[in-house]
Structure 1
Amino acid sequence: MAIEARPAPLESRLGYLLKHAQARFARTSAEALAPHGVDGHELAVLVVLSGDEPLSQVEAAGRLGVDRTTMVSLIDGLEDHGLVERRRSQRDRRKNIVELTSDGTECLRQAEKARRAAEARFLAPLGEETAAVLVRALQTLVAEDQA
């Protein structure tokens, strides 16, 4: 009768570690962004809309990888807070172009500063070199998914 190896403890499993690290980072980020009146999803929308070219709601949703209904909800909330504004496209009247307002630009600046500081605090226990390696490794894994 063969002796079976015991399963590895949860604390050594990649899925468990990634899930709990992400949950901890989400809490850290939420606390950092709360004073700016946005959450991580809304900040991502502001980042995408801050590019050089104006985007429609559909184009922004595509860049973020969210469905159109979710995008409408996100834009509605940001518009209610005066951070973005919609306007009809001059080229295609069926499209809504979404742009940051001046308040949205300032919110983005301040929230990004808070996000970067929260990220640095979260990664600090690793040291700069290890943190950079972790970020590069995660970028590689995400790029594989997008290829």
Structure 2
Amino acid sequence: MQLSDSFATITAITKGARMDRTDQSLIALRRILRATEIYGRKLASAAGLTAVQFRVLQIVAERGNCTATHIAQQMRVSQATITALVDKLVKHGVVTREKSQTDRRQTNIVITDAGHETIRRAPDALQQRYVRKFEALADWEQAQLVASLERVATLLDAEDIDAAPVLDTSDFRTHS
């Protein structure tokens, strides 16, 4: 065997390992996307809501009532987006809008009994499972994971896309 044959063999092995890692990374990304799709279908079936609508309902439930401004700030989206989502939740009967007793200019979003029942019967939120497991990681693991995920976003030219901290595969502005 000549030196050039050995180099070709090493190059082929290295290239194969790189390809395997590429495939592994794409498979991992696909699994993440599929998990959010499957959860979205389960949630729609059980609760009749999208993941983003359900997250808004959870935020309202956590406080009993709150303003659209509070929800927008917590989800890091525009108030117009929240207004559209709340409109849909009102149509579903899971929240209502009520004038504040202390400030008549302010409108509170209040969870209804149907909203509490929706949360009760919904499947365990994928996002909450992630949060519980992520927060159980050591600080260095959290930092490493965040850095890796941010790098993946950069690889996909997605670092400048506006996104709320909600695990959902569709655009939150278009949920019906």
- Number of the residue aligned with 1:87: 98
Q: CA deviation at 1:47?
A: 0.9
Query: In 2, Cα distance between the equivalents of 1:37 and 1:12?
Result: 34
Is 1:8 the equivalent of 2:10? no
Q: CA deviation at 1:133?
A: 6.8
Q: CA deviation at 1:134?
A: 9.3
Give the number of the structure with larger relative contact order, counting CA–CA contacts within 8 Å between residues 6 or more apart: 2
- Asked if the contact 1:33–1:39 (Cα under 8 Å) also holds between the matched residues in 2, the reply is yes
- Asked if the contact 2:64–2:110 (Cα under 8 Å) also holds between the matched residues in 1, the reply is no
Give the residue type in structure 2 aligned to 1:11.
D
Query: In 2, Cα distance between the equivalents of 1:85 and 1:102?
Result: 11
Q: Calculate percent identity across the aligned residue pairs.
A: 21
Q: Which runs of 5+ in 2 are unaligned?
A: 1-7, 151-164, 166-176
| Residue pairs, 1:106-121, within 5 angstroms | 106-111=117-122, 114-116=123-125, 119=126
- Asked if the contact 1:56–1:96 (Cα under 8 Å) also holds between the matched residues in 2, the reply is yes
Root mean square deviation, CA, Å? 3.7
- Number of the residue aligned with 1:51: 62
Is 1:30 the equivalent of 2:40? yes
- Asked if the contact 1:33–1:115 (Cα under 8 Å) also holds between the matched residues in 2, the reply is no
- Number of the residue aligned with 2:170: none
The count of aligned residue pairs is 129
The match for 2:78 among 67, 82, 90 is 67
- Number of the residue aligned with 1:77: 88
Q: CA deviation at 1:132?
A: 4.3
SS class of match (2:124): helix
1:109–1:87 distance in 2 versus 1, CA, 3 Å: same
Q: Between Structure 1 and Structure 2, whose CA radius of gyration is higher? A: 2
